[in-house]
A and B are shown apart, each in its own frame.
Chain A
């Protein structure tokens, strides 16, 4: 069994997109069928790759399902396919975040982080602060720094940037080194992308991590952030 974590009944729970399950283009349907029929991990990776490469919205539900197949190669191919599709993939990604499979959830958050649409802000904040899986938190934290703020009106933009900053400052104090490491990466890109909010708190946090963190890798990453920002 290569799809132990595949949770087929979740698909049926997304009524707005039920009709998209049957692709209208026969080529795409055959690529979807190939994903369904793959009977080895290697074939599955190849089939997901092929489906991701057609850049079709009809592939979205199957690509999202592939995040939960417990096959890192297939999941990475699916993430890059979803990211290439961009905004159109967001509603389904948000609707189908798998609450029971943290592996799949981490890949969903990576896709949302890379698409970087402000629509995902609340989901990223919640995952960054409170998900029990460190891999999910790291993906969300990194994503908070790179949202495309310019898609928002100035007032909404200021509020969104400030919320993202508060979360980044909070997770920068986590007990887990990797969460703090992710927070530095998030703060660095936040400082590069945010334009409307006071930057001094973000810089002060980087300085604190650089000077006092107990972990050498975390201090090193803070040093790199400072150097690349200057």
Chain B
């Protein structure tokens, strides 16, 4: 079974699902059908309340286990609930932040960041306890003790200004992606351009994966002054297009004016990235 947090892609030859059969499969005795159905419901945005109820229940599943003790179905259910936007999932997802499976905690933190309900902020903050000294790699594993990237991003997305002092030290974490997550979060919590500029600097880094990651962060925070740097960064056009789209969406959300000079500038940059 998967020990990473990669998304399950549809298997060739997998049964084509309908809304009804996917919901039915969530209570199938076959855990692989439940696993697939929970991915499918999230992917295709099925907001049927029966699906939500079944997915919330799946957050407590104990049948589907990996050799290392992970809970694949809980991970997928958490991810799906993040995409479905129903805040009834918040209490269950908040409990998942204490699950002993790292990837369940990570998926839950990501989902909570998307749902926009800040009642989970204290539990998210608890995962940053011990600061950067505690946030080290688990020996032999590809991840840190806690999913700090996801937690930092969720706190930023939820506007948890009470977490600022807890988030700031992560700007100096040894892992670059964690630094970016902290910069992204700090920008959202303070609107201080100094943090946006840190992400702009990251566009000139040596590692293309990190440049892509910074592009995604800039898109997520809608940092408009980065537009030209995004368009000029040495990364594939697809990533730059998505990042500019993030800026444009954010800008349209604020101004609702597609003909503003900034909107036109962003669209001109996007046209050149096609």
Binding site for B on A (CB under 8 A): 72-73, 103, 106, 134-135, 138-139, 141-142, 177-178, 181-182, 185, 216-217, 219-221, 223-224, 227
Contacts and interface: CB of A to CB of B under 8 A. Distances in A.
Contacts, number: 52
19 contacts: A72-B234, A72-B235, A135-B236, A135-B237, A139-B274, A141-B274, A178-B241, A181-B270, A181-B274, A185-B271, A216-B248, A216-B249, A216-B252, A217-B245, A220-B248, A220-B252, A220-B258, A224-B258, A224-B263
B209 interface: no
Interface of B: 234-238, 241-242, 245, 248-249, 252-253, 258-259, 263-264, 267, 270-271, 274
A181 B242 CA distance: 12
A135 B248 contact: no
Contact of B259 (A138, A141, A177, A227): A227
Given A185-B271, A221-B258, A221-B270, 6 more contacts: A106-B237, A178-B241, A182-B274, A216-B248, A217-B245, A223-B258
A224 B237 contact: no
Contacts of B259: 223-224, 227
A224 B257 CA distance: 11
Tell me which of B236, B241, B252, B271 has the highest count of chain A C-beta atoms within 10 A of its own C-beta: B271
Nearest to B252: A216
A141 B270 CA distance: 14
B236 A72 contact: yes
A220 B270 CA distance: 12
Q: Main SS of chain A's interface residues?
A: helix
Contacts of B267: 217, 220-221, 224
Nearest to A223: B258
A223 B267 CA distance: 11
B85 to A, nearest CB: 15
A177 B238 CA distance: 13
A224 B264 contact: yes
Contacts of B274: 138-139, 141-142, 181-182, 185
A223 B274 CA distance: 18
Contacts of A106: 237
Nearest to B273: A138
Nearest to B257: A220
A134 B258 contact: no
Contacts of B237: 106, 135
Nearest to A103: B236
A179 to B, nearest CB: 10
